[in-house]
Amino acid sequence: MSAYASPVSRASSAAFDDLCAVYDQLLGAGEVVLSEAARIDLRAFSRLYDLPLEEASAAEVWREVRMRLQQDLATPLQTPAEWGYEDQRQAA
């Protein structure tokens, strides 16, 4: 997750970490063999996000799914400027 975001919850962050533990190995070099359940789950995630990746490799699918999950699980931190507050001295 980016340095400018916070996890939505500890449970969702832990679930994301668990998925990364299974699928991040696809992003490295070498041949990785996923279980049938892991391959089905990965394709289900790609369909959930409506990604046109039916012909893509498992690594390509995971790269896209991981990015989307990371975006969904991160909430940007808001600064006072984003809230529209003005410094009282500037407002006068």
Domain ranges of the chain: 5-74
Indicate the pTM of the whole model.
0.66
User: Could you tell me the pLDDT band of residue 1, with boundaries at 50, 70 and 90?
Assistant: very low
Residue 40's pLDDT is 92
Residues with Cβ within 8 Å of residue 77, at least 6 apart in sequence: 4, 5, 6
Angstrom CA distances, 4 to 20, 52, 74, 76, stand at 20, 29, 9, 6
pLDDT in tens, 44-83: 988 888 887 778 888 999 999 999 988 887 765 555 555 5
pLDDT in tens, 12-28: 788 888 999 999 999 98
The angle subtended at Cα 24 by Cα 22 and Cα 30, nearest 5°, is 105
